[in-house]
Structure 1
């Protein structure tokens, strides 16, 4: 007996600081300690026993109470509310029914199968228990040197209550009826009260959620996430959080949107500055579709091919430099921004062209004409987008058919000479008109001389073409 208190104290120290839950599959084991009272009176009709349940609560006249820790139990949860329990108790019997006797020793070992009604009552703190089982009881009487022992097997029925003070500690009360079939020992009630400690669950990560119910058993987590962690505390468990170390929003799978532009930081190339989704979260102040950090002119709208800047018009002719073949000289759209020759220039060209001479009845250019032709080339080069038309004309001498053929050949000869000396072929056209466009009378030698001529004009109705006929430009 004197060592029993030490055992109880050690048990309290071990289990009192163990964080476990009420006895269930997670915490299958329980240890109980307490005191017990034995009552032989209200169990039958034969003296010295009263009727069944007579004076059941007459503690002063009939209860035998040992004022110390006098009962220990060990139990294990089986499942579906059933618990198997093994217990032992000691007592001293001074009241045997309605008679007083002298210090009988009382020992018992009992086993029972108990059923908890706690689940039916919504798992609250109040836990009624019913049980059935059996045991063995020893009652000893010593008179001098003679010891007489009364022992018998018992059939037990139990009604008890667990009052859960915390997740792992309960205050217990129970009343157990022990029926004895042998006449030497009387049937009796044994009442008990004490404390029960539950334990035995496995919680690998120590988060208070046992591995059986823990979806992340090796990482400490939270009950609301079935034991899984939420490292950044944003209410999204790490398994579903694309940014588990940064608090974020559910709409972005747990990632933050620092600048509040609707683009999550991992997808935002400018996370500190509000921008546009189509530009990966970067701003476009001038709305030209070029993000500011790549826009050389962030305050002026301009195309991406010009790095976000508006195209310049250096010569101020209304044609942007990118489309202007002569960006530093004002021109016209028809010549891609290049200037067109004036009437004075055309007049000058024709003054030179009048001095171009041909062999008689031939399209061969005489050598003396080269100086005039070179002057024509130099003038044409000053207008790189202008299309010049070479016209061949004859007098009325000869047939119309012959004159037309000769005028075409002479115009073509001039065109070929100009091409060979630096004027692109796509900037030249030629045609012969025979005797159809005289500028003087064909009745005099002087008039016929004037009519035999090459003229240069602007060809505004045709596109410049290369030799293969591919369109080049207008």
Structure 2
């Protein structure tokens, strides 16, 4: 339980602090692995300091103490300028304690004796400031480093402080996962045993394990961390520092005037299908090369009127005549190009066509009402009907652009459905008669109202006769 408590203390302290070299994007790192302890540096002997400390640096089998399991954990945070700070906790079992005793039985050729002190457990908590050299050597895979720090070691029933100097090498498999190799020389301070130096030995501690970087933010999930993403809220491309290029024309959307359609850099990312230097969005004739003065449209006869608006594209004419060399045929002040009735004078307010007067409408009304039909049929009753149709036709022809509705009506004899059908047929008969006399079909509509709009009583024969009628109504 005593040893377990020490482990828990080491982990709690470690998780509350920070540890090795990362970067701005992933400031945190977690590492774990195996550690080895070599106590030869406290054994004494040797010809000098270097010989004492480095004469057998890789005598793994002879001097290193290794427990084949995860024996260290570390957490770190990047603090800027290639520096990181953090802590680590480690545990080991000392089964090889090196001392210098040339007179002892079993010493090696240099006078060192390796003994087993029994169940001697080691626990360590270390704080480390680490400097990464990865940016110095301009590598994204090889990450050498130097470190300096301090710690506290528990060896058996003894405990003491250490000053730690070290070096390391991390090989990054991916941006976030790497293999970490480190070595530290832990110089101890405390009372030493006179014979075995068990109380507070200085030693080398080596470690190998995996390191995982984390903590980076990528709001738009485009694989580029916010700190390096020029467009952190919108997913984009690495070559554009995280900004999108929706249309794939090599111009980022923020600088692309036409982000949805691939275009040219010279036109701020907008397309120019006809190659006339005018973007399609501003080109009135995007498929045909034209002039900037005519919004990208051509002018074959060079009269200043774009071909698409020129009613005479191969013959020059004034702009007011839509590019044609014509005048005002009916002399009503409305150019033929704008005149819906170029042969008949009329005001500009009615597009050059005459306006229907109230007197004419009354005349048409009188003539139309005097057209009677045989009862129950869509045939004319009186012999003078063709004369009345001709009179109506002559009046309506004076207004070429006016539109009229031919309305048919019946008396109340018969069913509603029959009368509705009959009224429509009567309206159609009048409309067809007017069309036969030269009126434009587009200017005439026919509609039947059945018995729904009587103008007299249906209780008398005279009233019913008046209700069997046709009316011609001007459409506004």
Name the TM-score class by shorter chain: 0.5 to 0.7
Cα deviation for residue 264 of structure 1 reads 0.3
Cα deviation for residue 190 of structure 1 reads 0.5
Cα separation, 2, equivalents of 1:57 and 1:117? 25
Partner residue in 1 for 2:251:
236
Consecutive unaligned residues of structure 2, counting only runs of 5 or more, are 5-20, 99-112, 193-198, 330-476
Partner residue in 2 for 1:32:
31
Partner residue in 2 for 1:309:
324
1:113 aligned onto 2:129? yes
Cα separation, 2, equivalents of 1:93 and 1:258? 80
Partner residue in 1 for 2:76:
75
Partner residue in 1 for 2:138:
122
- TM-score of the pair, normalised by structure 2: 0.56
Cα deviation for residue 302 of structure 1 reads 2.7
* Rg (Cα) greater in structure: 1
Which of 299, 304, 307 aligns to 1:289? It is: 304
Which of 199, 223, 240 aligns to 2:214? It is: 199
Q: Is the 8 A contact 2:222 2:235 kept in 1?
A: yes
Partner secondary structure for residue 23 of structure 1? coil
Partner residue in 2 for 1:251:
266
Partner residue in 2 for 1:139:
155
Cα separation, 2, equivalents of 1:68 and 1:281? 77
Mapping of residues 312-391 of structure 1, within 5 Å: none
Q: Is the 8 A contact 1:30 1:76 kept in 2?
A: yes
Q: Is the 8 A contact 2:145 2:169 kept in 1?
A: yes
Cα deviation for residue 205 of structure 1 reads 1.4
Cα separation, 1, equivalents of 2:176 and 2:287? 50
Partner residue in 2 for 1:457:
none
Cα deviation for residue 84 of structure 1 reads 0.5
Mapping of residues 413-452 of structure 1, within 5 Å: none
Cα separation, 1, equivalents of 2:114 and 2:269? 77
Q: Is the 8 A contact 2:150 2:164 kept in 1?
A: yes
Cα deviation for residue 299 of structure 1 reads 2.6
Partner residue in 2 for 1:462:
none
Q: Is the 8 A contact 2:41 2:202 kept in 1?
A: no
Partner secondary structure for residue 308 of structure 2? helix
Cα separation, 2, equivalents of 1:284 and 1:254? 27
Count of residues paired in the alignment: 285
Q: Is the 8 A contact 1:43 1:189 kept in 2?
A: no
Cα separation, 1, equivalents of 2:84 and 2:169? 14
Cα deviation for residue 123 of structure 1 reads 4.2
Partner residue in 2 for 1:178:
186
Cα separation, 1, equivalents of 2:202 and 2:309? 98
Cα pair distance change 1:103/1:54, threshold 3 Å? farther
Cα separation, 1, equivalents of 2:205 and 2:227? 37
Q: Deviations over 1:290-348 (max 9, x none)?
A: 11111111233333233222459x9xxxxxxxxxxxxxxxxxxxxxxxxxxxxxxxxxx
Q: Is the 8 A contact 1:37 1:65 kept in 2?
A: yes
Cα deviation for residue 43 of structure 1 reads 4.2
